[in-house]
Structure 1
Amino acid sequence: MSITAGLSSALSGLNAAARAAEIVSSNIANAMTDGYGRRELQLSARTVGSTGQGVSITSVVRHSDPIVLGDRRLAEAESGSSATTASFLKRLESVLGTVDSAVSLGSRINDFDTALLQASSRPESEARLSNVMQSAKALAAHIATAGADIQIVRSTADDQIENQVGQVNTALSRIADLNGQIRSNTGTGRDASALIDQRQQMIDSIAKIIPLREVPRDKGEVALITTGGAVLLDGLPVQLGFNPVGEVVADMTQASGGLSGLTLNGKPISTRAEGGPVSGGTLAAQFAIRDDLALQAQQKLDAVARDLIERFAASGLDATRTTGSAGLFTDAGAAFNFAAETGLAQRLSINAAADPAQGGALWRLRDGLGAATPGATGNSQLLNGLQAALTAQRVPASGGFMTGARSFAMLAADLVSGTATARVQMDSEATYASARLDTLKSMQMEQGVDTDQEMQSLLVIEQAYAANAKVIAAIGEMMQKLLEM
């Protein structure tokens, strides 16, 4: 080998070792960076004619397991969906109140029942009549507050949908740009690994919102297709459309046109939580909360409010009331109209005739809501009737409850227990989804950067660098000797 060939080989070795050290350093520094793929330098022998002339850097290979990556993304979408739904059910259970809560729906009913029993034993007691009024108002307020909170949740879901649609549109546009840059780098032989890392991060930001699959295309580009079959990106990105309403009220639905659905490039698409083009992630979960789960909860709560109103407006209970007039519990002060049940829970209130805070008189709880003057103070007939109405076995007229007659306390217990059962089931699903996601993340990490292995590689690279440097130093000494001759 000539001096020139030896020097060329050593310089190529130094260059390869320096590049390899740079890649190993990058691997170690980004071992915990999301979306980062381990790099490895690919080398080949460099020849001039039939003579070896050192090494040539062929390419930088980015390692990633597409199967584990895809499964991890799907698991992330599933975990996000179940966690979002579980959070809603937990909030609903909390606002209704669990059985061990001092301010639960059940405890409000029990307080009202107790107050009626105590007042019926001492109907002349102003304090006991006042206690009946306060417990009745607390019960109505509890139901109304729960109904209002359901609409707050629906409004929040509407806002979340807007935010997530914006995130998806922004990420898709960015991924399309990165596709173009990666195609350009690949075409000119430049390393596109850093751009691919950025693209993976952008895809990950979408995957939790809408579950998707990444499909490779020519020259390093990718297409994105949801598990429901909608194409989000294949060359050009799609544009998701959504119009938020700000504040959601009980009678607003997609079917009535009061709430916005989702469009893809201007065309409406289904927002079903299962089987739809965007089902399975947090976006579909927010639609399910706004349009299905919260609506079902509202319907059941309205049915409970209706049952309460109708119990205390039954004919024959209060002889002083005119036909069709409101009982103790009212629909915003008026008699209940079965054609306007939606949102009834929020409108539930106490009849002003018996409420001193509204200009009424407590003695009407004893003597009748339509009474013009106080009657005999020892008459407990109406109070006994009110307590009997609360505990009477009655079949609910709406709400989709199981068939069968029950007391008002049992009807409310059915509502609370149904919510608790759904919450426990969803918590179980969320726990499973989270464990599966953690497992897939661990598998992905195991296939990622092994810092011990990288440090060992760095030692080998340092030795190669030192060997090539020693060859160059020896050639330098030889050249110096020749010049001195």
Structure 2
Amino acid sequence: MSIINNALSGSLAAQAGVNAASQNIANLQTKGYTRQGVLLGAVAGRNGVMSAGDGVEVMGLIRFSDSYKNQQMWRGASEQGLYTQTQPYLTQLERIMGDDLSSISNGVDSFFKALNAAGVDPTSTPLRQQIVTAADAMSQHFNSINSVMNNQLLSVHQQRDAIIPQVNTTLASIAALNGKITSAGATGTNVSTLIDARDEAIDSLASQMSLEVIDQPDGSRNVALKTGQPLVIGNIAGSMTSALDVSNQQVLSLTFTTSTFIVDNVSVGGQLGGLGGYERDVLRPMQQSVQGIAQQLAIDINAQLAAGITMAGAAGTPLFVFNASSASVLTLTPGFTADKLALAKVGGGQGDSTNLQALIKIKNNPVTLPGMSPMPIGDADTQLVGKLAITSQKNKALLQTAVTVRNQAVADWKATSAVNKDEEGVNLLEFQNMFQANMKVIAAANQMFDATLAMMS
């Protein structure tokens, strides 16, 4: 009877192998599915030296997964998420600030050209009106760029607010799957499908922030930020929130059980880190620089006008009003008209252009912007656009590298864990042959048994 028992165990093992191969083939196009296989082991003989063995047993199902490759794939997702989130903003700002018509340089150059043109006849009303018109147009250039930056800042905050609920949902899902995996694993149930779902959730979360994932002996996975704050421990999940402080800065916080942590907007990594880095390192400094140019122009021009007199002999009045807290950071003084331009020096007669020449020279006055050396006002916008272009090109290069690294990590993961239809087809045939061979053994054993009975009858 040991022959039949051996063959029966072999046929059952073959059925398990066919089942595993069929499951793999069925999930050939399932995203995140990890292929499985059977682990077979010989059963030692228990009837003395004359027993070759007692067949084969299925010792367990194998899940073809490499923890290192998973970690590499998740790190790649974080890097790609970081640079992908930043590039659209950089491209938009670079295009608008570098445009020949909408740039600040265009407005500044046009204003100083109008001042130069008035040098032909400082008493000419049309030429004076051209200065006022060019001044208003220049202010609109500043206000338009500032408005774009305000809109980008609002968009960054809205995107961050949209990502946070997704993060919290994913954290809760990972914690719930941890609980199911631990419970099912304790009863010997195959948890591969649950682990796949958890890995997919972690991969999605990794694109939004940089993670540390640590496997636990009970099958659960603890997840934390790169900076150490816990996100998921066992079946307990944390939750994140965002809020604006008094300076309109968005603050991220993480609550885990009874503890609350402040999370740095940049070091959090992933898409959230990309948004935080762009806001802190590019958008806000760029907006401060644009406003700095506008403020310096307003201060210098208003001060020079105050040093001169109008054609009527009155003291000069301010041409510009600067207000950093307003959407329109630079505007003309309400009610300012061409006859209020103080282009002559005090004591100068009709047609004197001494103060006008001083106004023209303001273009070469120095201005100091955040993170940059002092430069002439007339060159400031050009240098800002150049700096922005360098930042954008650097981000594009880093994004391309991140995409390559991520794609390679995914390819490495697929080499180990993804289903290969040719390989599974071979496995299916081998297990079918194994099953048929064991059936033949059973048939041969029955014939031998029948022959033995016939001999004894």
The TM-score by the shorter chain falls in which range? Answer: 0.7 to 0.9
The aligned counterpart of 1:96 is 97
The structure-2 alpha-carbon separation of the partners of 1:322 and 1:17, relative to structure 1 and needing over 3 Å to count, comes to farther
Give runs of aligned pairs for residues 60-459 of structure 1, distance below 5 A. Answer: 60-98=61-99, 101-118=100-117, 120-121=119-120, 132-244=131-243, 252-254=247-249, 259-265=250-256, 266-274=259-267, 279-315=268-304, 316=306, 318-320=308-310, 325-327=317-319, 329-331=320-322, 342-343=324-325, 346-354=328-336, 364-365=337-338, 367-369=339-341, 379=351, 381=353, 384-385=356-357, 388-389=360-361, 391=363, 393-396=364-367, 399-404=370-375, 406=376, 408-449=377-418, 450-459=420-429
Q: Which runs of 5+ in 2 are unaligned?
A: 344-349
> Structure 1: which amino acid aligns with 2:264?
T
Q: Once structures 1 and 2 are overlaid, which stretch shifts more, 310-319 or 169-178?
A: 310-319
For residues 102 and 114 of structure 2, the distance between their equivalents in structure 1, rounded to whole angstroms, comes to 16
Q: Deviations over 1:189-232 (max 9, x none)?
A: 11111111011011111112221122111221111132222222
Structure 2-normalised TM-score?
A: 0.83
What displacement does 1:292 show? 4.8
Count of aligned pairs:
439
- The alignment status of 1:19 with 2:16, answered yes or no, reads yes
8 Å CA contact 2:146, 2:329 repeated in 1: no
Moved more, 119-128 or 463-472: 119-128
State the distance in 2 between where 1:383 and 1:117 align. Answer: 12
In the alignment, what sits opposite 1:358? none
Q: Distance in 2 between matches of 1:431 and 1:318?
A: 56
Asked if the contact 1:238–1:264 (Cα under 8 Å) also holds between the matched residues in 2, the reply is no
Question: What RMSD in Å do the two structures reach over aligned CA positions?
Answer: 3.6
TM-superposed CA distance for 1:379, in Å, is 5.0
SS in 2 for 1:269: strand
Shift of 1:116: 4.0
Shift of 1:273: 2.2
Structure 1 residue aligned with 2:347:
none
Letter in 2 for 1:78: E
1:438 CA drift (Å): 2.2
**Aligned 8 A contact 1:30 1:36 in 2:** yes
> What one-letter code is carried by the residue in structure 2 that aligns with 1:349?
T
Distance 1:292 1:416 in 2: 15
Q: Aligned equivalents of 2:236 and 2:148: distance in 1? A: 37
Q: CA deviation at 1:428?
A: 2.2
Name stretches of at least 5 consecutive residues in structure 1 with no aligned partner: 332-340, 355-363, 372-377
User: Do the aligned residues in 1 keep the contact of 2:167 with 2:240 (CA within 8 Å)?
Assistant: no
Decide whether aligned partners of structure 1 residues 125 and 443 sit closer, same or farther in structure 2, where only a CA change above 3 A counts.
farther
Residue aligning to 2:40 = 43
Asked whether the 8 Å contact 2:222–2:233 carries over to 1, the reply is yes
- Matched to 2:333, the amino acid is N
Helix, strand or coil at the partner of 1:13: helix
Which letter maps to 1:271? D
Shift of 1:107: 2.7
Q: Partner amino acid for 1:326? A: P
CA shift, 1:310, in A, is 1.9
1:223–1:233 CA contact under 8 A, matched in 2:
yes
Shift of 1:369: 4.5
Q: Which SS does the other structure have where 1:24 is aligned?
A: helix
Name the stretch that deviates more: 225-234 or 344-353: 344-353
Deviation at 1:45, TM superposition (A): 3.0
CA change 1:457–1:129 in 2 (3 A) is farther
DSSP-derived class of the 1:353 partner? coil
CA displacement 1:395-448 (0-9 Å, x = unmatched): 2265453125x1x32122122222222222222222222222222222222223
1:41 CA drift (Å): 0.7
Paired-residue identity, %:
24
Distance 1:322 1:342, change over 3 A: farther
Alpha-carbon distance in 2 for matches of 1:261, 1:131: 50
Distance 1:383 1:130, change over 3 A: farther
Contact between 2:142 and 2:330, CA under 8 Å: does it hold in 1? yes
Tell me how far apart the structure 2 counterparts of residues 383 and 17 of structure 1 sit (CA, whole Å).
Answer: 99
Indicate how the Cα distance of structure 1 residues 478 and 305 shifts in structure 2: closer, same or farther if over 3 A, else same.
same
Do 1:40 and 1:62's aligned partners in 2 also have CA atoms closer than 8 Å? yes
Please report how far the alpha carbon of residue 18 of structure 1 lies from its aligned counterpart in structure 2 after TM superposition.
2.8
CA distance in 2, matches of 1:455, 1:323: 94
1:35 aligned counterpart, secondary structure: coil
Structure 2 SS opposite 1:242: strand
